[in-house]
Amino acid sequence: MKTLSNKRIPLIFTLIGGTVMLMSFVTNTTIQQKGAWVAPASADTIKNPLKGKADAIAAGKKIYGTYCNVCHGDKGRGDGIAAAGLNPKPADHTSAKFQAQSDGAIYWKLTTGRAPMASYEKTLTLVQRWQVVNYMRTLKAAK
Site residues (vs ligand HEC, CB under 6 A): 37, 67-68, 70-72, 82, 86, 88, 90-91, 98, 101, 106, 109-110, 114, 116-117, 120, 132
Residue pair 82/67 in contact (Cβ under 8 Å)? The answer is no
Q: Toward ligand HEC, which CB reaches closer, 49 or 116?
A: 116
Q: What's the number of CA atoms in the CB half-sphere (13 Å) around residue 58?
A: 3
Alpha carbon distance 44, 128 (integer Å): 19
Provide, rounded to whole angstroms, the least separation between the CB of residue 37 and ligand HEC: 4
In whole angstroms, how close is the CB of 99 to ligand HEC at the nearest point? 10
Pick between residue 62 and residue 114 the one whose CB is nearest to ligand HEC: 114
Pick from 60, 54, 55, 76: nearest CA to 140:
76
Contacts of 96 (CB under 8 A, 6+ apart): 140
Residue number with CB closer to ligand HEC (57 or 98):
98
